[in-house]
A = this chain, B = another copy of it.
Amino acid sequence: MKYKKLEENIPYDGSPIEPFWAFKEHKLKGSSIVSWIGPMDIKPEELIDYEDVGLEIKSDKMVHFIIEHFDVQPADIKTCYHRQRLFVMIVKDALGELGIKTSRKGDDLYFNNKKLSVSIATCSNSSMKIHFGMNVVDKGTPEDIETIGLLECKNDLDNENISALIDNICESYINEIESIEEDITKTKVF
Contacts and interface: CB of A to CB of B under 8 A. Distances in A.
Interface of A: 18-20, 23-24, 29-31, 47-51, 53, 70-79, 81-83, 85-86, 89, 92-93, 96, 104, 106-107, 120-127, 176, 179-190
16 contacts: A24-B50, A30-B182, A48-B187, A70-B181, A74-B76, A77-B126, A78-B79, A86-B89, A96-B96, A106-B179, A122-B189, A123-B126, A123-B190, A124-B125, A124-B190, A125-B190
B182 A125 contact: no
B125 A184 contact: no
A71 to B, nearest CB: 7
Contacts of A93: 89, 92, 104
A27 to B, nearest CB: 10
B188 A78 contact: no
Contacts of A29: 182, 185-186
A19 B73 contact: no
A185 to B, nearest CB: 5
A18 B189 CA distance: 10
Contacts of A86: 82, 85-86, 89
A120 B59 CA distance: 41
A93 B92 CA distance: 9
B49 A184 contact: no
B70 A73 contact: no
Given A74-B76, A82-B79, A180-B82, A30 B185 contact: yes
Contacts of A77: 73-74, 125-126, 184, 187, 189
A50 B23 CA distance: 8
